[in-house]
Amino acid sequence: MRENGEKLVPASLIPEKILARPEYFLQGLAHSLPECLVREGVLKRLIKAANLLPKGFKLVLLDTYRPVELQKLLFDKYLEEIRQKRPGAGHEELMKLTQRFVALPRSDKGSPSPHLTGGAVDLTICDDQGMVLEMGAGFDETTFRSFTRYLEEKLENKDPLSPDQETALKNRRLLYHVMTAAGFTNLPNEWWHFNYGNQPWACRVSAKGFAPAVYGPARPDFRWA
C-alpha cells in the first residue's frame, strides 16, 4: 500500500449531482457522522459517475468513511444476529458468515476496513422526481438478493423475473456501469458498495497491471476532534 495522503472531504456540497443521506447517523448509531466524507480522488470519480447518469438523476450516498468504532459496532451486531439464527454454529463459521456482509473492524495500515480508508462508498440513485430507484433489495439487506449479479443469474438461468425485478435489473446495471466507468470496482456481495484506491479495489484491478492501493486508514481533519 502506498498512501497518497489525500484528505477526506465532504461529498454533500454538490447537491445538483450528489445527495448525501448518512444512513447510520439517521438511525442514531453511535460513532456515526452527519456527513458523507470521501477521499478527494473518490469525490472526483463520483462526480464523473454522476455526469454519466440520465438527465435529472443523481447519486445518493448512504455511507462512506466509517470510523473503526462504528465498523466494530456493525460487525458485532450482525455477528449476534447470525448467532441467534444459527445457535449450533461454531465461532469460525459465525465469523465467516458475518464477513459475507460486514468487514472485520481493522485499523492497521496493512489491511484496514474498506470504509475506514475513505475509498469505499455505499450508494444508490434517485430520479428527477426525488424517488430512489428500485434495486431489488434494500441497503444493508443481508440476503442473496443483495448480491450484485443475483438478478443477472436469474436471467441467465431463465428464471422468470417480476416487473419490479426487471426494473431493478436495469437500475443495477445503470449504477454498476456509471461507477465502473468512473474507475470504481464493485463488491460482489452488495450491489450498493463500490471501492476506489483501497485494498479491495487494488485486488480487483491488479490483474490489469494497475498500481497498488493508495488509501490506508484515514482520519477527518477536524480542528477540535
Q: Is 164 one of the annotated binding-site residues? A: no
Query: How far is the C-alpha of 93 from the C-alpha of 175, rounded, in Å?
Result: 32
Q: What are phi and psi of 122, to 5 degrees?
A: -110, 125
Question: CA 128 to CA 177: how far, in whole Å?
Answer: 19
CB-CB contact of 156 with 84 (8 Å): no
Task: Check if 190 is active-site.
Answer: yes
91 annotated as ligand-binding? no
115 among the known binding-site residues?
A: yes
C-alpha dist (Å) from residue 208 to 110, 205, 211? 22, 5, 9
Catalytic residue among 3, 40, 134, 190: 190
Residue from 57, 66, 79, 55 nearest 22 by CA:
66
Distance of CA 25 to the CA centre of its chain: 16
Residue type, 205: V
Q: Is 175 within 8 Å of 186 (Cβ atoms)?
A: no
| Binding annotation | 115, 122, 193
| Binding annotation for Zn(2+) | 115, 122, 193
User: Among all residues, which ones are annotated catalytic?
Assistant: 190
